[in-house]
Every structure is written in structure tokens, then in C-alpha cells.
Structure 1
Amino acid sequence: MCAKTMYDKIKYLTATLLLISFVLLSIMIPGGAIETRSFTHIDPYILGSFNIFLTFLGMTSLLLTYFVIRKLKWAYFISIICAASYLSVYALDLAGIFPISPDQMPTGLFVIEIVGSIISIPLVYFSILGLSNNSNDNKPEVVNIHSKKFAFIALILIAVCVNIIIFATKSAMGN
């Protein structure tokens, strides 16, 4: 198999796994159909901080899909960190370590967290392959982002993230 073809497959597999991880995390937002547990006993600042982390993780994964496809070496490195974060978050919840709720974990949430954990393992693997195969022969494309366009997109993403964090924290607190 040609090295370029293999590298293209790696970048698309990595991007696809990042996108799937984003979707799985997104459908577990408190107050939705999947995450119905109450976390009213957890300090709102801790819960808010956790929701900031989860929102940042999800949005980073979504944005990384673009940069991985553009063959940017740093994107593969951050993909490894995201994959490890997904695995850690799911493992902590499945083990009943954090966040702890008096309510039983819904079956749908359990299944999604198992699937998310499983997906994070090949995500680490393909991210490492992408990082190691990103040699001088596979020079990354230059990403030109116009500052006004970038600022507009950044403002929209920030607004979306803030609303997600507020909604998720209020829903988890039972408000």
C-alpha cells in the first residue's frame, strides 16, 4: 500500500473517531434524554468546572477534525490528549468515582460510555500513527484563516459553549 494512501486513511480514521467522540459526548448533556441523573449535591462550582472541561473537550474534538484532515502535526498530538481525556472521564463515571449521583446510571448512558471508552483506544492509536507518519514527505497544508472570519467563528463557538455550560450545569443541578 502506498504511504500516501495509508496516511490519508489514518487522517480520515482519526477525524472520524474524533467526530464520533464529539457526538457521543454531546448527546450526554445533562437535561437531555440520556443523562437524567441528579447532581444537586455537588457544589455548583465543581459541577460548572466539570461542564466547562467537557464542553472544551467536545468542541476541541470537533475542531480537531478539520486540522487532522489538514495534516497538522499538532492536531494529532492534541487528539491523543482528547482520547485519553474521553477514556478517563468515562472510566471515572463507570467506576462510580466522579460524578457520583444518588440516581442509578441509565442504561443508554452506560452503553454510550462503554462505546465512547472503546472508541478512545483506536483514537489514541491512529493519532499516534498520524503523528509518527507526519514526516517531511507529508508536509502539512498551510491553513490560512482570515482574521475577521476566524473572529466571527470564534465568537459563535464561544457563545455556543457558554450556553451549553449554563444549560448543562443548571440541568444537572435540577434547575
Structure 2
Amino acid sequence: MNKARIAVLAILTLSVINLCFMIFSNLVGMRAFPDYSHMVMTLFNVFLMTLGLLSVWQRFTGIGGHAMRGKILLLLAVEFFVVYAADIANIFPRSAEPMLQTLFALEICGAVLGVLLFVGVCWYVKSAPTYNAM
């Protein structure tokens, strides 16, 4: 198996685990977002769940050979980074309560994993042969 592929799959797995800790864990605490409507927060949560599900789908269907999968993985890497960077920079979502240190650490880890995933996917796309599947 290609080293770049192993790296991408490992980073993707760690990214999904990190996201699951933030969505489903009480370790990060609960934050209130009174400035946003329920619809905005629902759409944001749907986006996060879709990001996680797409990542799991990419992880378990494999990434070998399909040019489109490389593009999807690049998009996932950018989305992971943007979501975490926006929260770290207090751009979106803004909370009335300060971010707990555990959540901050997980978001820093997630942003780093997003960058590593992007670099790993670029490495993999350059090193792996691709074919177009119908």
C-alpha cells in the first residue's frame, strides 16, 4: 500500500475521531449561541454531521484510483480547517461563554489535522495513478 494513502487514511480517521469527540462528548462542555436562530444552528449541525459522514464514507470506501475522490478529500480537508479556524478565531459561531481549554485543544488539533490532511492528499494525488470510473 502506498505510504501517502496510509497517511491520508490515518489522518482522516483521526479527524473523524476528533470531530466525534466535539459533537458527542461532554468533555468539551456545552456552549449557548443566543445570537443565532435555531435554523442557523440546525444547518451548522447538519453541516458538521455531513462532514463527518462524508469523511467516514471516504475512509471506508477507500481512496484508491478515483480522481474525484482526491478532490472530495481536498474539499474535506479545507472544510475541516475552516470550521476549526473560524471557531478558534471567534468568527462563527460566537458564544456567550468562553471556550473551554479542552475544546480549544481539540479545535487546534482539528485545524492541524485539516492542514495535514490537505498536504497528505496533495502528496497522495501526485503519487497515485488515477483512472476514471463510470
Q: TM-score, normalised by structure 1?
A: 0.69
Tell me if 1:79 matches 2:73: yes
Could you say if the C-alpha distance between residues 124 and 68 of structure 1 is closer, same or farther in structure 2, counting changes exceeding 3 Å? farther
> Deviation of residue 55 (structure 1)?
0.5
Select which of 105, 110, 117 maps to 2:99: 105
Task: Work out whether residues 4 and 127 of structure 2, in 8 Å CA contact, stay in contact via their aligned partners in 1.
Answer: no
> How many residues end up aligned between the 2 structures?
133
User: What is aligned with 1:11?
Assistant: 5
Tell me if 1:27 matches 2:17: no
Structure 2 residue ranges without an equivalent (≥5):
none
> Deviation of residue 31 (structure 1)?
6.9
Select which of 57, 62, 65 maps to 2:56: 62
Task: Work out whether residues 29 and 35 of structure 1, in 8 Å CA contact, stay in contact via their aligned partners in 2.
Answer: no
Task: Work out whether residues 74 and 118 of structure 2, in 8 Å CA contact, stay in contact via their aligned partners in 1.
Answer: yes
Task: Work out whether residues 73 and 134 of structure 1, in 8 Å CA contact, stay in contact via their aligned partners in 2.
Answer: no
Over the aligned positions, Cα root-mean-square deviation in angstroms equals 2.0
Structure 1 SS opposite 2:10: helix
Query: What CA distance in whole angstroms lies between the structure 1 residues aligned with 2:97 and 2:65?
Result: 43
Query: What CA distance in whole angstroms lies between the structure 2 residues aligned with 1:116 and 1:30?
Result: 15
Tell me if 1:89 matches 2:83: yes
Structure 1 SS opposite 2:23: coil
Could you say if the C-alpha distance between residues 35 and 81 of structure 1 is closer, same or farther in structure 2, counting changes exceeding 3 Å? farther
Query: What CA distance in whole angstroms lies between the structure 1 residues aligned with 2:121 and 2:62?
Result: 9
User: What is aligned with 1:50?
Assistant: 44
Task: Work out whether residues 77 and 128 of structure 1, in 8 Å CA contact, stay in contact via their aligned partners in 2.
Answer: no
Query: What CA distance in whole angstroms lies between the structure 2 residues aligned with 1:29 and 1:126?
Result: 25
Bigger radius of gyration among the two: 1
Query: What CA distance in whole angstroms lies between the structure 1 residues aligned with 2:74 and 2:25?
Result: 29
Task: Work out whether residues 67 and 75 of structure 1, in 8 Å CA contact, stay in contact via their aligned partners in 2.
Answer: no
Structure 2 SS opposite 1:80: helix
Task: Work out whether residues 63 and 69 of structure 2, in 8 Å CA contact, stay in contact via their aligned partners in 1.
Answer: no
Structure 1 residue ranges without an equivalent (≥5):
143-175
Query: What CA distance in whole angstroms lies between the structure 2 residues aligned with 1:129 and 1:67?
Result: 19
